[in-house]
Structure 1
Amino acid sequence: MSKPLSPAPQASTQAPITAADFARLSHEFLEAYWQLEPEYAVAMGRFDLAAKASVPDAAQRQREARFAQHWLARLQRLNASALPAAAQTDLGQILNTLRYQLFGLNELRQWSWDPSAYNIASTLDLLLNTDYAPLEQRLVDISQRLARTPAYYQAARAALQQPTQVHTELALEQVPGVLSVLDEVGRQAATSTLSPAQRHTLAQRISAAREAVTAYGKHLQALLPQLGGEHARSFRLGAALYEPKFAFSIQSALSAEQTYRNALAERERLYTQMEQLADQLWSTTMGLSAKPKDRIEKIARIIDQLSSQHVRREDFVSAIRAQIPELERWVAQKDLLSQDASKPLVVRETPVYQRGVAGAGIEAPGPYRPQGNTYYNVTPLDDLTDAEAQSTLREYNHWILQILNIHEAVPGHYTQLVHANKSPSLIKSIFGNDAMVEGWAVYSERMMLESGYGGNAPEMWLMWCKWNLRAVTNTILDYSVHVLGMEREAALDLLQRQAFQTEREATEKWRRVQLTSVQLTSYYSGYADIMALRQARQDALGSGFKLKDFHEEFLSHGSAPVATIRRLMQR
């Protein structure tokens, strides 16, 4: 099994490589990597590769494996001892990426069991809605990509060997969204100044792509009856795959099991704090009602009472949009970190093809084109029943909706990713670390409340504890489900009764933990590492510690693993 990255590359008997030589080598590596992974290149802002599309067939997987093996052999021979720390950590991040790639191809093999991984919509949507070139040129690029779409979905069908039921269901749900993106391409082409020949070719390719997507959906629909029962493939990874995936993805000094055990201990600390807040709020919130002896019930009753304060269903997206300027003003007023008003944040309804996993999320431009829009995707509540909408609104009540916006937007994901795109290290921005990204967003919630946001109201702190408990519970849930075999009933109890989440939030999280693995652990793991690093810097600098300086330096290293940033900050 592939080994996780060691803290620093091993030296060889060769002469030390210079920083200039490594910079040239890194550039050579990236240019070769983009030829192999054009969709990721486009996501990172390399629109010169917009017309180049890959086909996920066996030959492509073999090319990816050979690429990783070639570059691993080449880079592992380097004697990097003379490189500055920034370059050494860049090298470490490349090595981790290549090892993770081989692990994914040869051991995890998600390409063989996840039908939802095959989706052309994201790249098309990005090309259509990014002004990297005039519309007509973008449509020509899209047309060239669409020429390979039938082969793309034929390769997807051939790759799938024993898909899981839940990933197949997600892929089927996303088919209408993919078709809607193709329809939008056709609508924009109809009003463009493409030549008649170009328009005709594009129309033919859109038609062929629609047929390929529809046929893929029909193929998956035919498979569904075979995917249930005792012989079906489980969505659970199991410890043999979970631990190495955790090591590659999270890049923590701790194992997955250690992180899980730390999360259990952190949950106890949060319960203690929440009980104290519940006692403080009881008389003003519950009046003369008898206070339960059971702390979980006591906390739950306070949260349930407070959760009735929320925005209206029809105002859900607009309320989120309206809160962003308030958060930006607070960060500026408290001088918590620098912001860049020239990098736009656009709050929009989540595109249909992206729905089904999370209700809100950030979609940021890559470091090659940092001036592009950052989208804050929010799924509206229009398609929910009244009961489902009410459950969601109670979950994202008056206080938690603000914490959500801190996490996703300011000073969370949006702010962090703007800083990441300014990092001098392309490597650290391109091959970002989930735990650092999610950990910063969780850390930013606490940092805002520590600065006085919310007026230090006990209601706000209680709801922050509930939200922070969600991050901790994500780790407990993910490990329990994928390694310990937790079943649905126990998972829902963990989420609803023990973590105070509403029924709809809990059922959506149960689905998410089936569709993803390890990602849910990134929130708590990264947050815990950042808090430990902040404390270490405070201890080391004493009165010289300045919170804004810590934030600015921390964010200057792209989206590197927290352990890497710690090494760079303490160099």
Structure 2
Amino acid sequence: MFRLPAPVLALALLATAFLGSTSMPASAADSPEDARLAKFFQNYLDLWMAQRPLEATLLGNHDFDDVLEDVSPESRKNWETLVRLTLEGLPKEVDFRKLSRGSQIDYEILKHHLERTLWVWENIRPFETDPRTYGEYITNSIFLPLTQSTLPREQNVANAAARMRYAPSIIEAAKRTIRNPPRVVLETAIRQNKGAIAFFESGVYEVSGETPGVSSFKAASAPAIAALKSYQEWLEKEALPNASGEWRLGRERFVRKLELELEGAFPADEVLAEAESEFARVQRDMYVISRQLWSQHFPDSPLPPDDQSGRAETIRKVIAKISEDHSRPETLTAETRATVDAIKDFIAKKDILRLPEPDRCQIIEMPEFQRGNSVAYLNPAPPLDPAASSMYAVSPPPSEWDDARKESYLAEYNRRMLLILSIHEAYPGHYVQLEYSNRHPSLIRRILSSGVFAEGWAVYTEQMMLDQGFHERDLGLRLVQLKFYLRTVANAILDHKLHAQNMSDDEAMKLMVDGAYQSEGEAFGKLIRAKQTSCQLSTYFVGRMAFYRLRQQIQREMGDDFHLGRYHEAVLDHGTLPVKYLPELVRERLKQPR
């Protein structure tokens, strides 16, 4: 098992990284230059994973599951050296002109990844300004191998116990490195660190099935728990009083970061203008449906006046009535499983696309220590271990919440909203799309995936499924889908105006609560997220619009020859790549048999 014991070894390996051979054979169909690019990337990836064991785990390589990164500033200089040398070496070692078209796209994806990585490290400096970064190393490094690795359970438990001993050194690096973070980020890190302590004290036994009294975790976790408690005190008493950093990017950095995040698909001002136009359209559609549903829910009350405030009242009251139909905490997971079965049956019956076989998506109840941040998430099978299971986790409200807060949460994520979430997260959204992606022969595309593609596809499927007749007599479901999509549109507006136009908290809350019909609790959580994750919230809207436009264009071009299932498979056949490449690739794929 290869290890990277010191920075010196990393730098020594770099000298031979680009010309050394690998065990990866070239496909018979590859051109020599295509094979050269594949070898170049494999060498980079091998060094990257050796430097960063948690990244290897996330990708599905389990060679380093018992060790963790050295996240000290000195070690991170070597990470940067690797990326810079790779970026400099790419045009020297690979002739772009000699590559096939598919490999030219891979080349551009790799180049963009390297440039974006360096820009973020130089301009955002997450290790200095974002204390949450360190917490992810400590908890994710244990949680992921225990829940997704295909290694034997005993090996995963041993690896997790070995990894626990690295927690104190990561915390020491955090204390050395964190400098004047934004208060809103630090407050989140403080809450998350409390969750990390709970995870090491009890959650780790919940996810692993180990018995606390006899498990090897008991001795291994003790130093980690002590370090985390010390870190908690440091965060609260030393870091928090000095947390006055600026969370806003400012226009110049926002525009550049968004360009990198969207992979050059659309300029920032164009995204904002389109989002504001779409916001008004979706509000109009929601009013039309709410007006139709009014007499069903309020048979003895006249429809409010058809003016701005009356339309908003109509929408809000109808949504509130629909939200009363929600699950109970103890039935949420079982109802989600039944919902997924119905969705899969509809997809097969309507030939929306061919579902992956075998189906490796597990529907689980979110562990207690993870609850309170989101109602659902998908942990996909990693690209280097595609035989692993994907996990679609749904979250009952945290047990410590009072009854009123639980009721508000369940109303926001009512039964109809759970249908939309299951479409988005699992079928035919994230789970299906990423299973297709893991089949792609290009390692570059499997590893360096596009968030715009992944999120855009998931949002596109929400409306598409209803357009094809899923629960077609349920106008309430259509209204909830539009509300969920309006949140996506609002997120793009919020992202831009908070970071580039100095939008105030009150203005942001008004946009979400009054304009997008969100509960105050949901809106406040999104405001916190928007301050901490600049540019990511725009990917959902931009990706959805790219998929929507492409569908309209190709369907119009093909006319009666257009087949939806064949089209969707042609979209997903190319991996999770930047959406700007889809028009040429999908059109070419549709010339071939399904």
Shared fold per TM-score greater than 0.5 = yes
Question: Among 130, 147, 153, which residue is 1:135 paired with?
Answer: 153
Shift, 1:356, TM fit? 5.1
User: How far apart, in 2, do the equivalents of 1:483 and 1:106 lie?
Assistant: 19
The answer to whether 1:552 aligns with 2:569 is yes
Shift, 1:252, TM fit? 4.3
Q: Which amino acid aligns with 2:423?
A: I
Change (3 A) 1:19 1:527: same
Contact kept in structure 1, 2:294 and 2:303, CA below 8 Å: no
| TM alignment of 1:130-529, pairs within 5 A | 130=148, 132-183=150-201, 204-223=219-238, 225-227=240-242, 232-287=244-299, 288-293=301-306, 294=308, 295-355=311-371, 357-381=373-397, 382-529=399-546
Shift, 1:456, TM fit? 4.3
Q: Which amino acid aligns with 2:246?
A: S
Shift, 1:436, TM fit? 0.8
User: How far apart, in 2, do the equivalents of 1:406 and 1:63 lie?
Assistant: 42
Contact kept in structure 1, 2:183 and 2:240, CA below 8 Å: no
**2:102 match:** 86
Shift, 1:98, TM fit? 0.8
Change (3 A) 1:204 1:492: same
Shift, 1:302, TM fit? 2.3
Paired residues, what number?
Answer: 547
Shift, 1:404, TM fit? 1.4
Deviation digits for residues 264-289 of structure 1, max 9, x if unmatched? Answer: 00112112222222232233333232
Shift, 1:128, TM fit? 2.2
User: How far apart, in 2, do the equivalents of 1:312 and 1:189 lie?
Assistant: 26
User: How far apart, in 2, do the equivalents of 1:286 and 1:455 lie?
Assistant: 22
Q: Which amino acid aligns with 1:49?
A: F
Counterpart of 2:266 in 1: which secondary structure?
Answer: coil
Counterpart of 1:49 in 2: which secondary structure?
Answer: coil
Counterpart of 1:376 in 2: which secondary structure?
Answer: strand
| TM alignment of 1:29-48, pairs within 5 A | 29-48=44-63
Change (3 A) 1:481 1:45: same
Change (3 A) 1:522 1:515: same
**2:24 match:** none
User: How far apart, in 2, do the equivalents of 1:350 and 1:223 lie?
Assistant: 33
User: How far apart, in 2, do the equivalents of 1:206 and 1:421 lie?
Assistant: 34
Deviation digits for residues 367-393 of structure 1, max 9, x if unmatched? Answer: 111121211222221332222222222
Q: Which amino acid aligns with 2:295?
A: S
Shift, 1:132, TM fit? 2.9
User: How far apart, in 1, do the equivalents of 2:421 and 2:322 lie?
Assistant: 17
Q: Which amino acid aligns with 1:484?
A: Q
Counterpart of 1:480 in 2: which secondary structure?
Answer: helix
Counterpart of 1:118 in 2: which secondary structure?
Answer: helix
Deviation digits for residues 389-413 of structure 1, max 9, x if unmatched? Answer: 2222222223222111111111111
User: How far apart, in 2, do the equivalents of 1:234 and 1:319 lie?
Assistant: 43
Shift, 1:440, TM fit? 0.7
Percent identical among aligned pairs is 29
Shift, 1:94, TM fit? 1.0
Question: Among 52, 55, 68, which residue is 2:67 paired with?
Answer: 52
Q: Which amino acid aligns with 1:76?
A: P
Change (3 A) 1:422 1:437: same
Contact kept in structure 2, 1:186 and 1:206, CA below 8 Å: no
Deviation digits for residues 458-485 of structure 1, max 9, x if unmatched? Answer: 2222222111111101111111212212
- TM-score of the two chains, using structure 1 as the length reference: 0.90
Structure 2 unaligned spans of 5+: 1-30, 589-594
User: How far apart, in 2, do the equivalents of 1:414 and 1:222 lie?
Assistant: 42
Change (3 A) 1:282 1:136: closer
Deviation digits for residues 194-242 of structure 1, max 9, x if unmatched? Answer: 9xxxx88x755422222222211111011355146xxx11322222221
User: How far apart, in 2, do the equivalents of 1:142 and 1:307 lie?
Assistant: 42
User: How far apart, in 2, do the equivalents of 1:369 and 1:361 lie?
Assistant: 19
User: How far apart, in 2, do the equivalents of 1:44 and 1:438 lie?
Assistant: 19
Q: Which amino acid aligns with 1:134?
A: P
Deviation digits for residues 79-134 of structure 1, max 9, x if unmatched? Answer: 21231222111111111111111112111112111111112111211222345333
Change (3 A) 1:302 1:422: same
Contact kept in structure 2, 1:174 and 1:355, CA below 8 Å: no
Shift, 1:547, TM fit? 1.0
Shift, 1:177, TM fit? 3.0
Question: Among 121, 133, 144, which residue is 1:126 paired with?
Answer: 144
User: How far apart, in 1, do the equivalents of 2:420 and 2:161 lie?
Assistant: 42
User: How far apart, in 1, do the equivalents of 2:262 and 2:177 lie?
Assistant: 27
Counterpart of 1:112 in 2: which secondary structure?
Answer: helix
Contact kept in structure 1, 2:365 and 2:393, CA below 8 Å: yes
User: How far apart, in 2, do the equivalents of 1:298 and 1:346 lie?
Assistant: 39
Change (3 A) 1:189 1:404: closer
Counterpart of 1:340 in 2: which secondary structure?
Answer: coil
Larger relative contact order, structure 1 or 2 (CA cutoff 8 Å, min sep 6): 1
**1:8 match:** none
User: How far apart, in 2, do the equivalents of 1:190 and 1:555 lie?
Assistant: 39
Moved more, 457-466 or 468-477: 457-466
Q: Which amino acid aligns with 1:449?
A: L
**2:20 match:** none
User: How far apart, in 1, do the equivalents of 2:170 and 2:432 lie?
Assistant: 35
Counterpart of 2:463 in 1: which secondary structure?
Answer: helix
User: How far apart, in 1, do the equivalents of 2:332 and 2:159 lie?
Assistant: 36
Q: Which amino acid aligns with 2:65?
A: A
Counterpart of 1:267 in 2: which secondary structure?
Answer: helix
Counterpart of 1:455 in 2: which secondary structure?
Answer: coil
Change (3 A) 1:62 1:145: same
Moved more, 33-42 or 533-542: 533-542
Question: Among 6, 31, 35, which residue is 1:20 paired with?
Answer: 35
Q: Which amino acid aligns with 1:75?
A: L
Q: Which amino acid aligns with 1:148?
A: Y
- TM-score of the two chains, using structure 2 as the length reference: 0.87
CA-based RMSD: 2.4
Structure 1 unaligned spans of 5+: 1-15
The answer to whether 1:95 aligns with 2:111 is yes
User: How far apart, in 2, do the equivalents of 1:177 and 1:349 lie?
Assistant: 17
